Chains A and B, each alone.
Chain A
Amino acid sequence: MDFSNLANALTFANLALALFGVIAGTVIGSIPGLSATMAVAVLVPITFAMAPASALIMLGAIYTGAIYGGAYSAILLNTPGTPSAIATTFDGYPMAKRGDGDLAVAIACYASVTGGMIGALALLLLAPPLSQVALAFGPVEYLWLSIFGLSLIASLSTGNVLKGLTGGALGLLLSCVGVAEISADIRLTFGSSTLIGGIEVVGALIGLYCIPVLIDLVATPERHLKVEEEVRAVRFREGARIAWGSRFNLIRSSVIGTVIGILPGAGGSVAGLVAYSEAKRTAKPGQKFGEGEPDGIMATESANNATVGGGFIPTLVLGIPGTPPDAVILGALLVQGVRTGPALFDGGGSIVYTFIFGLFIATILMLPTGLLIGRYAYKTIVTIPKTILVPAVGFMTIIGTFAIRNSISDVIIMITLGAIGWVLSRFGFAASPIVLGLILGPIAEQGFVQAWIIGEATGNLTGMFFGRPISLAIIAFTILSLLYPLVQSRRAKRLIKMQAGSND
Chain B
Amino acid sequence: MLNLRTVKTVAIASALSLAAAAGALAFPDKPIDYIIPFGPGGESDISARFQQPFFKDKFDQDLVVSYKPGGGGAVGWAQLNSMATDGHTIMGINLPHIVIKPAQKDVGFTTGDINAFYMFHYTPDAVVVTADSPYQTLADLVEDAKANPASVTMSGSGKATANHLAQIRFDKMAGIQTTYVPFKGTGASTTANLGKQVKAQWGYTTVGAAQGDAVRLLAVAMEERHPLFPDVPTFKELGYDMVGGAYRGMAVPKDTPAETVKALSDAFGEINADEAFRKQMLDGGFALLDIDAAGMADFMKARSDEYLQAAKEAGLIE
Contact = CB atoms under 8 A, between A and B. Distances in A.
Interface stretch (B18-26, B58-66, B266-274): B58-66
A341 B79 CA distance: 38
Interface in B182-234: 182-184, 187-188, 190-192, 194-198, 210-214
B45 A327 contact: yes
Nearest to A134: B191
Contact of B70 (A37, A318, A405): A405
A172 to B, nearest CB: 17
B52 interface: yes
Contacts of A198: 70-71
Contact of A179 (B49, B66, B71, B316): B71
Contact of B62 (A45, A182, A328, A405): A45
Interface string A329-373: 011101101011101000000000000000000000000000000
A99 interface: no
A330 B71 contact: no
Nearest to B209: A339
A335 B69 CA distance: 22
A469 interface: no
Interface stretch (B102-110, B116-124, B131-139, B241-249): B102-110
Given A178-B71, A453-B153, A138 B195 contact: yes
B183 A178 contact: no
Nearest to A330: B41
B189 to A, nearest CB: 10
B105 A186 contact: yes
Interface stretch (A216-224, A433-441, A454-462, A488-496): A454-462
Contacts of B151: 457-459
Contacts of A38: 66
A470 to B, nearest CB: 11
Q: Looking at chain B's contact residues, is the secondary structure mostly helix, strand, loop, or mixed? A: mixed
Contact of B179 (A184, A319, A446, A454): A454
Interface string A381-414: 0000000000000000000000001110000000
B96 to A, nearest CB: 12
B284 interface: yes
A450 interface: yes
Contacts of A200: 70
Interface range on chain A (Cβ under 8 Å from partner): 35 or more
A329 to B, nearest CB: 9
Contact of B69 (A185, A337, A405, A454): A405
B11 interface: no
Given A183-B159, A196-B75, A407-B68, A331 B39 contact: no
Contacts of B108: 193, 196
A331 B40 contact: yes
Contacts of B72: 179, 181
Interface in A178-215: 178-179, 181-186, 191, 193, 196-198, 200
B293 interface: no
B187 A264 contact: yes
A264 B184 CA distance: 11
8 closest pairs, A vs B, by CB?
A327-B41, A197-B70, A135-B195, A179-B71, A197-B75, A138-B197, A457-B179, A182-B182
Interface of A: 37-38, 41-42, 44-45, 48, 134-139, 178-179, 181-186, 191, 193, 196-198, 200, 264-265, 314, 318-321, 324, 326-328, 330-332, 334-335, 337, 339-341, 343, 405-407, 442, 446, 449-450, 453-454, 456-459
Interface of B: 35, 39-42, 45-46, 49-50, 52-53, 56, 62-72, 74-75, 78-79, 101, 104-108, 150-153, 158-160, 179-184, 187-188, 190-192, 194-198, 210-214, 280, 284, 316
Given A184-B159, A318-B194, A318-B211, 5 more contacts: A44-B65, A45-B64, A454-B179, A454-B198, A457-B152
